[in-house]
Each structure stands twice: as structure tokens, then as C-alpha cells.
């Protein structure tokens, strides 16, 4: 059976984001940085796009994959963990994938991890044979166990997963981990990563064949531009020609140097876009290597 195609003909894009939660504000900020603005409905569940024909639906995070599958919205900002869990559940039920990850967004990062009681001496996945694992991600966990030939029980819980071992309902857990503080508070330790998660732009398996195609391409281009510049800085300096190679080596995350107009036989005026953090230590290292008059400038937008 072929994957579903976005067949509904529309001339506006609809993007679903969390109404509230840890991805809500970063998602809005990203879309606003892409030049989008909206007029909110009275119930604050729908935002009509004013700057571009791109509307927002404000919903629960776990509703977003289903809304994409049903064609109610075209894109959604959702955690990779939620997207992969629902996709794994569809495939285990014999259904085709109805959505895919279009773009990682770099915020809301966390890991889906196995965590065992602190008293355990972890010896590897084979140790899970015959154990019970409590989780809110049963499809991902079941697939991970199946791939490794491990016969273990999966206990599905919708919340408070971390207390399952103390209650005796499971031997260990699989849950999202950010700082690890919640695990430590429940005498658990993380031992195995099943999934590296972050917010992603999800959309249909295939693209669009109407006016939304152009809008989708424009949105993706703007998103990629914003994300690329998020931690980018314009670095300007002067350097003698014989130091340029060493300076370039010290900036592996920078674009090729551009020589600016200048006169005389002195140091060359140069600039580059650096996509990594320019700490004081890095700047001092560049100065020791021959960079003079270092200047770091923030970059708001770029069409390059």
C-alpha cells in the first residue's frame, strides 16, 4: 500500500504547534523569526496568518502526528519522541507511515533512555531478558527489544513512570531524560539511550501539488536560514597573509574567509561567518595566531 499523499487542495498552509508546554514558546519564536505573524481567534486555538498565508493550530503535542495523518494540518512542530512513537505504533498495526521528519529544529533536546535502580550493576541489554519495563513509549521500546532479540515485558504508563520500580509494577523504566535529576530523586540511573530527541518539523510523507508547495519551500528556506544563524556570528579582523592558513585551521566551523577592500601592504582586512560559539578563549587563541582587531558582530538575517 502506498503512503498517503496530501491531496486536499488548499492555498494556505496550516502548522500545528503545542498550545502550552516546553515546545510552545520556542516554536512560536522560530516561526516569528521566519517573518510570520498572526491574528488569534477568541478561543486562542487558531491563529490566522497575516504576513503570509500560513495559519497556526494550537493543540496538544500528542495530537499533532494524527492531525498531519488526517490532513487537518500540513506541518507540525513536535518532539521526535512523539513522532517516532506514533509512527512505530502505526507500523506495528500494519498501517503505512503517514508523516515524516522534515527538519530538526535544535530545541527541546532530550534522550529516551533506559534507567535501572541504582543498586543494579549494568551489564548490557541482555540483562533485560524476562524483565518488566515501564514506559510511555511502548512501541519504540518494543521495537528496540525486538531488534535485539530480547523477550521482556513492556508496561505502558501515561505518567509517573519513574516510580514504577518502587511500586513493584516494573523492574526498570524507559523515559525521557534531560538533566537526570528526576531519575536520581527516584534512585534510578540511566544506562542506555534508545533515541536522541528534539523538536522537529513534521509533515506528510510526500509533498504538495498545489499552492502549498511554494509556501512549504519558502517556509523551509526561512527556517533553515534562521536555524543556521542562531549561533552564528560575523567575525572581522586583520591578518598578515602568512597567518591566514593557521587562522583558518582554528576556525573549522567558519565559512571561507572573504577579503575586504583595503589599501597598502599591511595586514589583510578579512571577515567570515562563524557557526560555532566564539568564546573568549577562542578569540584569544586567534589573536595569538596573528588575528588583529578582532570584532564579533551578531547576524539577524542572511539570504546567503
**Model confidence pLDDT, tens digit, residues 17-68:** 999 889 999 999 999 999 999 998 887 789 999 999 999 999 999 999 999 9
User: Which pLDDT does position 9 carry in this prediction?
Assistant: 62
CATH number for 47:
3.40.190.10
Using DSSP's 3-state secondary structure scheme, residue 258 falls into: strand
| Residue labelled with grid coordinates 495530537 | 63
Q: How many CA atoms lie within 13 A of 62 on its CB side?
A: 6
Q: Over the stretch 239-256, which tens digit does the pLDDT of each residue have?
A: 999 999 999 999 998 889
The answer to whether residues 252 and 124 belong to one domain is: no
Beta-bridge mates of residue 297: 234
Same domain, 36 and 52: yes
Residue 301 has pLDDT above 90, yes or no: no
Poorest-confidence range of 18-27, 35-44, 75-84, 143-152? 35-44
120: in domain: yes
pTM of the model: 0.78
Tell which residue, 6, 43, 14, has the closest CA to residue 31. 14
Element (H, E) at 138: helix 138-147
Percent of the chain at pLDDT exceeding 90:
76
4 occurs within a structural domain: no
SS3 67: helix
User: Using an 8 Å Cβ cutoff, are 247 and 254 in contact?
Assistant: no
Q: Are residues 294 and 251 in the same domain?
A: yes
Could you tell me if 17 and 101 lie in one domain?
Answer: yes
CA dihedral 133, 136, 137, 138 (to 10 degrees): 50
What SS3 state is found at 288?
Answer: helix
Report how far residue 68's alpha carbon sits from residue 72's, in angstroms, rounded to the nearest whole number.
6
Same domain, 103 and 18: yes
Do 22 and 77 lie in a common domain?
yes
pLDDT tens digits for 103-136?
A: 999 999 999 999 999 999 999 999 999 999 999 9
Within 10 angstroms of residue 33's Cβ, the number of other Cβ atoms is 17
Judged against a pLDDT cut of 60, whether residue 4 lies above it is answered with no
Domain count, the chain: 3
Task: For residue 103, give the nearest of 27, 209, 35, 25 by alpha carbon.
Answer: 27
Q: What is residue 269's DSSP assignment?
A: E
Claim to verify: residue 95 and residue 219 sit in the same structural domain: yes
Examine the domain organization and report whether 207 and 73 are in the same domain. Answer: yes
Are 179 and 154 members of one domain? yes
pLDDT in tens, 166-213: 999 999 999 999 888 999 999 999 999 999 999 999 999 998 988 899
pLDDT at 7: 47
Map grid coordinates 516569528 to a residue: 32
Cell of 255: 565559512
Residue 3 lies in a domain: no
Distance CA 25, CA 11 (A): 26
Answer whether residue 5 is part of any domain.
no
Using the Cα atoms of residue 197, residue 158, residue 178 and residue 78 in order, give the sign of their dihedral: positive
Please give the pLDDT value at position 304: 55
- Both 125 and 272 in one domain: the answer is no
Structural domain includes residue 6: no
Structural domain for 258, as ranges: 233-298
Residues 100 and 210 in one domain: yes
pLDDT for position 207: 87
CA atoms 67, 71, 77, 79: torsion sign = positive
SS3 221: helix
* 60, 26: one domain: yes
Report if residue 123 sits inside a domain: yes
Report the CATH number at residue 285: 3.30.70.120
Amino acid at each position: 500500500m502506498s503512503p498517503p499523499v496530501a491531496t486536499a487542495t488548499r492555498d494556505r498552509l496550516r502548522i500545528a504547534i503545542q498550545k502550552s508546554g516546553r515546545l510552545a514558546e520556542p516554536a512560536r519564536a522560530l516561526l516569528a523569526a521566519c517573518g510570520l505573524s498572526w491574528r488569534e481567534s477568541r478561543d486562542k486555538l487558531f491563529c490566522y496568518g497575516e504576513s503570509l498565508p500560513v495559519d497556526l493550530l494550537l493543540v496538544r503535542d500528542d495530537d499533532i502526528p494524527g492531525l498531519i495523518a488526517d490532513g487537518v494540518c500540513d506541518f507540525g512542530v513536535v518532539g521526535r519522541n512523539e513522532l517516532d512513537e506514533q509512527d512505530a505504533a502505526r507500523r506495528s498495526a500494519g498501517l503505512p507511515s503517514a508523516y515524516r521528519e522534515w527538519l530538526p529544529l535544535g530545541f527541546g533536546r532530550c534522550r529516551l533512555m533506559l534507567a535501572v535502580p541504582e543498586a543494579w550493576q549494568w551489564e548490557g541489554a541482555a540483562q533485560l531478558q524476562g524483565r518488566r519495563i515501564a514506559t510511555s513509549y511502548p512501541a519504540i521500546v518494543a521495537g528496540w527489544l525486538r531488534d535485539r532479540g530480547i523477550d521482556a515485558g513492556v508496561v505502558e504508563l501515561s505518567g509517573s513512570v519513574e516510580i514504577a520500580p518502587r511500586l513493584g509494577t516494573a523492574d526498570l523504566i524507559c523515559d525521557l531524560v534531560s538533566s537526570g535529576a528526576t531519575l536520581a530523586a527516584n534512585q534510578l540511573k540511566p544506562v542506555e539511550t534508545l533515541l536522541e530527541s528534539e523538536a522537529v518539523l513534521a509533515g506528510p510523507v510526500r509533498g504538495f501539488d498545489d499552492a502549498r508547495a511554494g509556501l512549504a519551500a519558502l517556509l523551509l528556506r526561512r527556517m533553515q536560514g534562521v536555524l543556521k544563524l542562531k549561533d552564528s556570528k560575523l567575525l572581522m579582523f586583520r591578518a598578515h597573509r602568512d597567518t591566514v592558513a593557521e587562522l583558518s585551521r582554528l576556525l573549522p566551523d567558519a565559512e571561507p574567509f572573504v577579503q575586504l577592500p583595503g589599501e597598502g601592504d599591511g595586514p589583510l582586512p578579512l571577515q567570515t561567518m562563524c557557526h560555532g560559539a566564539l568564546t573568549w578563549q577562542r578569540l584569544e587563541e586567534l589573536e595569538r595566531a596573528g588575528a588583529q582587531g578582532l570584532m564579533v558582530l551578531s547576524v539577524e538575517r542572511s539570504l546567503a
